[in-house]
Structure 1
Amino acid sequence: MRVLVAGATGVIGRQLVPLLAAVGHEVVALSRTPGAVVPGAALTVIADALDRDATVRAVRQAGPDAVVHLLTAIPKVIDPRRVDRQFALTNRLRTEGTRNLVEAAPGARFIAQGLAFAYRPGDGLADEDAPLWSDAPRPYGPVVAALTELERQTAGAGGLVLRFGHLTGPGSVYADDGSTAEAVRRRRLPVVGDGGSVLSFTHACDAASAIVAALDKNVTGALNVVDDTPVTMRDWLPAYARGLGAPAPRRVPAPLARLAVGPFGVAYMTRLRGADNSRARLRLDWRPRHAAMLDGEG
């Protein structure tokens, strides 16, 4: 199968491209950088996914049987008070970029990256029928709106959204050289309030293996692709710090934290809902190989 990967040099893409090639797929990478060479890809085509005409030309030139949409532009350090501005380009890639890729490859299998930690807070782990957090604190609202639009367009194309959890692995913010690891070492990431957020992680290698599995399955809609070991923030953060050899995180009351990081920052630390991966395991015949990331190695 000829598979076009948009976002081939990202955290997931770097694991996905060689895996696709290893199992016999022909990989075409989409890059906006002229002259780019993506290791493991048989071909690299050049276009900015936000340029409709250029994207249509490049993708049709490649003639893929499947398109994998992993495009994001997420900053290394996120300010929870300015998420709406920091994610503005990613939001466009999830809306305009999705539209352009779908238009460019009519009839191709379409698989897109979603989020498994954008569910409305509630009890227990969220399955795919749980609502997304449409009434999230204001800075996060545009992010959820863009995810909702991405899923709508993907469904219209008969495609599949894989909702990944907090991404770990090489190049992620949780890797030893990542921004989260650095914040923990400097004791800049405290346990806020009751630390009640439930975290579902996804290692980039598990994300890649789920995409490969999905290419061969006639599955549509959305699936949670997360590990088997959801963990609360209050348990995870101290364990992660120990794994890094870092000092124990501080504990900060929610009202005090709100002054520094705003309402979404507090909600992120206290109200996130974990995700249930049962459907992905069943429908993709897929299993995560990595447990909750507690060892400080990303």
Structure 2
Amino acid sequence: MVRRAAESVPEPDAAEEEATGAVDDSPGASAEGGRPGYYIAAIGRALAVLDAFSPERPELALRDVAAAADVTQPSALRIGYTLVREGFLVRNPLTKGYRLGPKAISVGMATLGSMTLPEIAEPYLVDLRDRTGETVKLAIHHGATVVFVSRVPSLQHPSSAHHIGTRLPIHATSLGRAILARLPEDDAERLVAESAEAQLTARAPSREAVLAELPRIRERGYAVNDQGTSLEHRSVAAPLVGPDGAVVGAVNLSVSAHRMSAKEMEATLAPEVVADAEAISAVLPPDVQGRGWS
């Protein structure tokens, strides 16, 4: 499961303590680096169990619950019983394992429903950047253009000049071609025809070449831009797909053309980009805010 980098937790100040009558003299467990008495260990253990679920791990056995909460199996059984009783977990009657229950799903969907596409994608984009060391971007389609709406720059290598808000013809970029490949054929042809003819570099493909390539992009799940927008960079992109099957945007990763060949990029980085796009797509709510439109 992708997680954001840990953030410092604000502690109650003196005025808050006085107003609530809270005192720091309880013998309870303490969070590492925090104040004794404010951290409720039982809640922390229950949340650790909920956090252990992922798309790759939809069911936990009792021993998994115990490992996630760092408790014995008898204690894990009580945690599981409580979470089932409150609706956050359900018990599989065949395997006796635990799955997320309706309350956990409702809380997750309510949270995702209030977030925009860039907000949902951000931790996944950061994780992809950290795994690969390369610059990662998110774009949506706006008519016959793509608009960069999120960017996580490489910490190790100089990145491209495309920043948030940059607009490019939809057929000219790996992001745009990944989106086009998931659109209905008529819509893709219309947008390519409406897309501004821009020979950004000598290696930029023509509109006809882009249309001919779309079936292959659709089949393999990613699009490649080999120095078509900048002679300094290559990129690989994969589409983001909502629960209704409609494409809502795309994620790409760019590398220096001097450091990596197109063949090496496809072999090593394309699978990472596709996996990241699929992970984001799996958590998108219906009609996510900030999605692209044709």
> Do the two structures share a fold, i.e. TM-score over 0.5?
no
TM range (shorter): under 0.3
Greater relative contact order, per chain length (Cα 8 Å cut-off, separation 6+): 1
**TM-score where L is the length of structure 2:** 0.28
